Structure 1
Amino acid sequence: MTLRISVDQAECCASSMCVLVAPDLFDQRDEDGIAYVLRPQPGPEQHAEARDAARRCPSLAITVHED
């Protein structure tokens, strides 16, 4: 199974939850704290982290696409 992660930066509220939950998958821009994806297609060992970050995002800006 292939998993892809995306962040809707217009919806991101810069809460840092994704970075706290999955620091290898997400980071934040210095200027405004908006999240971005470091690894858009993580390996299977990081699928659970990606899903957890999406669940914990208070603005629901993270989408996990499972192909």
Structure 2
Amino acid sequence: MMIVKDWCSYCGCCAGVCVRNCIEVKETALVFDENCNNCGFCVDACPLAALEMEE
């Protein structure tokens, strides 16, 4: 997962849709844990398009 930090408002929409609870929203950071399977739900949920899938 790649975060475009200039676009991210840390709103938590991505964490809210994560079925594995892999995303922790901090004041100025998103933390993805090792259980992330790159399903892409968080990318689709981001209203600011601040998340992108890495190849």
Question: TM (normalized to structure 2)?
Answer: 0.69
Runs of 4+ in 1 over 3 A off after TM superposition: none
CA contact (8 A) 2:10 2:30 kept: no
Match of residue 47 from structure 2 = 58
Looking at structure 2, the residues matched to 27 and 65 of structure 1 have their Cα atoms a distance apart, in angstroms, of 19
Q: Secondary structure at the match of 1:37?
A: strand
Match of residue 7 from structure 1 = 3
Match for 1:16: what amino acid?
G
List runs of 5+ in structure 1 lacking aligned partners: none
Match of residue 37 from structure 1 = 31
Q: How far does residue 13 in structure 1 lie from its aligned partner after superposition?
A: 1.9
% identity of equivalent residues: 17
Select the structure of larger CA radius of gyration.
1
Looking at structure 1, the residues matched to 29 and 13 of structure 2 have their Cα atoms a distance apart, in angstroms, of 10
Question: TM (normalized to structure 1)?
Answer: 0.60
